[in-house]
Structure 1
Amino acid sequence: MLEEIRISSLGVIQDAVLPLTPGLTVVTGETGAGKTMVVTGLSLLFGGRADPARVRTGATEASVDGRVLLERSRPRMAEVAARVADAGGAVEIEEPPGDGADVLLLRRIVNGNGRSRAYVGGAPAPASVLAELGESLLVMHGQSDQLRLTRPAEQRAVLDRFAGVELEEYAVAFTEWRDADRVLQERTSRAREMQREAELLAHGVAEIDAAELIPGEDVELNEAAKRLSHADALRLAALGAHTALRGGDESTGDAPTDVASLLDSVVRQLGAVVGADRELDELASRARDLSAVADDLAHELSAYVDRIDADPEQLAQIETRRAVIAALIRRYGDDLDAVLSWAEDARKQLTDLDVSDEAMAALAEKRDRSAQRAAKLAGTISTTRRVAAERLAAAVTDELHGLAMASAQLEITVQSRPAASSDLVLVVDGVGCAASIDGVDDVQILLRPHPDAPSVPLQRGASGGELSRVMLALEVCLAGADPVATMVFDEVDSGVGGRAAVEVGRRLARLARTHQVIVVTHLPQVAAFGQNHVVVDKAATESVTASDLRVVRGEDRVVELARMLGGRDTDAARIHATEMIAEADAESSPPPRRRKAAGQRRT
């Protein structure tokens, strides 16, 4: 649940902190005071679109900070903590680590140029990570969500939430079937073209395989060819160098002229006075090292001279091999590695281009096997949806009766999607149905406002007030199936008044028994049910600061409800407001007990 959010330089809000509690929090205030910015701030905090127009005039950036309690007893909290860790952030572990709650800090910054930054658990992260976390932490409802409820895909998703339908296994089977069917059709329609392409690839692979290429072979051959073609010059150079190093003959009585002999003489002369002076001893040591290096170099040059020899026959063989490799490089790549890579890729392509009878039969078998599995799973999903549709429709109808729609009837139809020639068709229970990643069903929610009216789809016949009540009724019925801790409603009571408004407040209070519920409302009947009442005041400076966002209790709350009732603070309005609060308190259950330690912490 959310414990606190801080909003800075967002719209009319200059700097304000919104304290939140378990149960039902209502946010009220004059029109234009900044109530909507609270919802906008929550949307930003959980990955919503960064609109630079929302940055307060004169400010360079807007920011929203949130403190979230991850209650360990709720579903998905372990997954939330793991996702935070994957993003590089950290969750503050509360002590003792029993069944309490840990703390997650979130932050979103929007610059005036439209760019935004996000922070999760103290670490920078993409805004998409905030959105992912939001899916597990809260759900937001506003007038745009009412419009979304008119879409068939959203209506199917609502039913699936209630029914507990899991589409993952079916989606895997559907994807396998769709891909196998696509490959089979492609190979069937392009069999001749693919056969020609396969023949060309097979010819190239056979040519490369016949050459028995070795990685790096071209480099070694180039070096060998260069050495053999210059063998005489190399031998003469090495022999001359060896002579210069070890070419003298002291037996002739001539003074030695080679390097090695001269160094030997240096070592002998310095060795005669070894121990007489430390500095000269060090120079003698270096002379001995030089003599040893010269001697080693002379031996290696002698061995090289013995090895190097012009071999026209070997050179011819090397040049022939180089020609074979060069021809393959011209046809299949820029170098030998590229040729080998082309052959590897070609072998993989040949598998995809196999249009032999055996390969086509194997593909058809795979397609049919996947189709049978997908059809079986789709049938199970359809049955689950139909059973759940009756239960959900009956439950929502009961809720609507309590929301001052006493004669309304909600219906949810689940019908197999008729197949067309362009569709992917699964045979489910003997009937061909158009299949998609979400199954083979068309789900539609219909509303009959009163007995004399026909049942019509929500998108065609429901008013704004009716949509608000249908959405609220659905949320009440789905509360047990929804794992999120926090629900946010932005003027969900739009188009509602009178007794219906009281019933809206009552149902929001019922939701608040198992969820944290935050409601932005302009109706006193709804606000009376709040267990935490926040008032947004806009000061004369046309900005909302910390002092303008108040938690009201006692007489201050009565004054606020009186203002909402009639716009003026009169004795009659106060009496009415007091009665409304008393009635709401009598009907509401006490909120869940809040941990003292959590309530003492602030960002």
Structure 2
Amino acid sequence: MLRALEIRDMLIIDRLELEFQPGLNVLTGETGAGKSILLDSLGFVLGWRGRADLVRQGADQGEVVAAFELATGHPAREVLRAAGLPEGDELILRRVNTVDGRKTAWVNDRRASGEVLRQLSEVLVELHGQQDDRGLLDPKGHREMLDAYGDLGGMRDAVRAAWRDLAARRKALAEAEAALAAVRAEEDFLRHAVAELDALDPQPGEEAELDTRRRLMQAAERIREDIARAAQAIGAQGAEGAAGDALRWLEGVADKAEGQLDEPVAALGRALVELDEAGRGVDRCLEALSFNPLELEIIEERLFAIRGLARKHGVLPDDLGGFAEGLRGQIAALEAGDADLRARRQALEAAESEYAAAAGALSAARAQAAGRLDNAVMAELAPLRMERAVFSTGIRPAEPGPGGHDEVSFTVATNPGAPAGPLNRIASGGELSRFLLALKVCLTGTDSGLTMIFDEIDRGVGGATADAVGRRLAQLAAGGQVLVVTHSPQVAARGAHHWRVEKRIEAEATLSTVRPMRGPDRVDEIARMLSGERITPEARAAAEALMVG
């Protein structure tokens, strides 16, 4: 509910503070006094797109502050939570517009975007007028309005859930079919590749081990000849044999050398021991380097085969085993694919049946709700002097979707036998106003804390019809809050709270102000609306009669 509106330096308003109340709030005044500026300012703070030149001439910036009262569970609270903004029983919107066109907004003293303002406006305020193309005149919202009128939210949620399940199963089937088709296209390759890998059976780490053995064998061919020559030079035919001969010769004459050969003989003995150890070590090396040349060929053939398969499949040699497992998995999926597809198709058929049942039930419920709505609107049109008009809620088949498979539109025929058509194309200005009011009266029970604004919705009607419009507006405001901008004294007389918008000139500047109308002032204002600037006793009496009636 809108509690207060504060406007500073907007168009011809220098400073204005208004406190609104529950019930029917009426704004009256001469044409051009600034009533539309109030709505422009309210639309500005709510983030609506409107005129750009809002700042009052001579001011640096314009500012609008709107305060709303939020009941527990008001949908605006969810918008605030989603935007990460403070939430409470009072919601304060503030927006500033500078001369150069920059706009800045705050929600509960936190900076906010224009998009957040617009999301809040959708659950705070509803504007109705002859040029209104966002609300009742927009066919895109008629299905939701019918569902709300018929209290079909639960059935619509069931349809939405069935649609989500159906869409998910369609997607899953399509993905499974595509995957299976891709596997089938490569079936020959998969089976050949698995057979090739199974035949080779590469093991993790095998490639590195084979490479080491191959390099060792290749090195052995180059060094074995030198090692063999060294073995020959060390052995009995070489150094060891010569040292042994020298030792025997020296030992044979050592006793005649008076001890001078004792050390050389001992050294040669030690040398023979070392030569023997060296010879055995060289022999062991020669034995280790001995291999079958065919073994090198076998090792090289397997090593190259492993590396070739790794390059072919674009994996590391040690990953060939895991890659083979993956291919086997694809073959297994291929072999089980037909059964999987059958199961998925059966699940899709079940989901289609469930959606069709839910959507069909919703369609039937919509048809019943449409009949009730048509009767309710027709009952409201009679007091509005449109008893010959025909209102109809049309339901046509549409593409299935999360909201069902119905297209809903409100149509009217202004006279029996006349062709029916959309509200804004068939009805004249005055007729359209009354159609909108009748429809809104019937739908008002579906609103949740909305402040409804009617901008000269009574234009083009007068007398008893205007009185009926006023009574319906008062009825509409009984359980909430309605703001109406009007030139009709019959409508103004039904207001619970009344303001007059006036224009004055100060220091050659035109300014607009708003005064509350109470007691005699209100009687005079309604009398002025009846008779013009010259207020007669008869006009006052007529005004008092309207207010009483």
TM-score (normalised: structure 2):
0.68
SS at match of 1:450: coil
Residues 450 and 83 of structure 1: is their aligned pair in 2 closer, same or farther, counting only changes over 3 Å? closer
Contact 1:15-1:544 at 8 Å conserved across structures: no
Report the CA distance between 1:466 and its aligned residue.
Answer: 1.5
Counterpart residue type for residue 357 of structure 1: D
Contact 1:52-1:113 at 8 Å conserved across structures: no
| Aligned partner of 1:537 among 486, 491, 502 | 502
Residues 538 and 374 of structure 1: is their aligned pair in 2 closer, same or farther, counting only changes over 3 Å? same
SS at match of 1:90: coil
Residues 411 and 50 of structure 1: is their aligned pair in 2 closer, same or farther, counting only changes over 3 Å? closer
Tell me what 1:579 maps to. 542
Counterpart residue type for residue 170 of structure 1: V
Contact 1:195-1:355 at 8 Å conserved across structures: no
CA distance in 1, matches of 2:137, 2:41: 26
Contact 1:173-1:370 at 8 Å conserved across structures: yes
1:561 to 2:535 alignment: no
1:64-83 paired onto structure 2 within 5 Å: 64-72=64-72, 76-77=73-74, 80-81=76-77, 83=79
SS at match of 1:406: coil
Tell me what 1:271 maps to. none
Structure 1, unaligned runs of 5 or more: 93-101, 205-209, 214-319, 333-345, 418-433, 588-603
CA distance in 1, matches of 2:47, 2:335: 47
1:173 to 2:162 alignment: yes
Contact 1:88-1:123 at 8 Å conserved across structures: no
Tell me what 1:376 maps to. 357
Tell me what 1:155 maps to. 142
Residues 581 and 68 of structure 1: is their aligned pair in 2 closer, same or farther, counting only changes over 3 Å? farther
Q: Deviations over 1:84-142 (max 9, x none)?
A: 355444345xxxxxxxxx32222122344444322222212223333333333332212
CA distance in 2, matches of 1:492, 1:385: 29
SS at match of 1:176: helix
Tell me what 1:488 maps to. 453
Report the CA distance between 1:387 and its aligned residue.
Answer: 1.0
Contact 1:87-1:120 at 8 Å conserved across structures: no
Q: Deviations over 1:289-343 (max 9, x none)?
A: xxxxxxxxxxxxxxxxxxxxxxxxxxxxxxx9xx99xx99x969xxxxxxxxxxx
Report the CA distance between 1:50 and its aligned residue.
Answer: 6.2
Tell me what 1:216 maps to. none
CA distance in 2, matches of 1:397, 1:356: 60
CA distance in 1, matches of 2:78, 2:4: 22
CA distance in 2, matches of 1:503, 1:551: 24
Report the CA distance between 1:520 and its aligned residue.
Answer: 1.2
Residues 560 and 201 of structure 1: is their aligned pair in 2 closer, same or farther, counting only changes over 3 Å? farther
Tell me what 1:116 maps to. 103
Q: Deviations over 1:560-600 (max 9, x none)?
A: 2233334313315xx3354334433x35xxxxxxxxxxxxx
| Aligned partner of 2:367 among 386, 389, 396 | 386
Tell me what 2:442 maps to. 477
Number of equivalences: 441
CA distance in 1, matches of 2:45, 2:396: 39
**If you compute each CA radius of gyration, which structure gives the higher value, 1 or 2?**
2
Counterpart residue type for residue 359 of structure 2: A
Report the CA distance between 1:16 and its aligned residue.
Answer: 1.2
Counterpart residue type for residue 486 of structure 1: T
Tell me what 2:321 maps to. none
Tell me what 1:24 maps to. 24
Tell me what 1:37 maps to. 37
TM-score (normalised: structure 1):
0.62
Counterpart residue type for residue 416 of structure 1: P
Tell me what 1:106 maps to. 93
CA distance in 2, matches of 1:402, 1:364: 57
Contact 2:466-2:488 at 8 Å conserved across structures: yes
CA distance in 1, matches of 2:172, 2:369: 37
Contact 2:527-2:542 at 8 Å conserved across structures: no
Residues 21 and 558 of structure 1: is their aligned pair in 2 closer, same or farther, counting only changes over 3 Å? same
Residues 23 and 188 of structure 1: is their aligned pair in 2 closer, same or farther, counting only changes over 3 Å? same
Report the CA distance between 1:364 and its aligned residue.
Answer: 2.0
Report the CA distance between 1:200 and its aligned residue.
Answer: 10
Tell me what 2:80 maps to. 84
Share of identical aligned residues, percent?
36
Tell me what 1:11 maps to. 11
Report the CA distance between 1:146 and its aligned residue.
Answer: 5.5
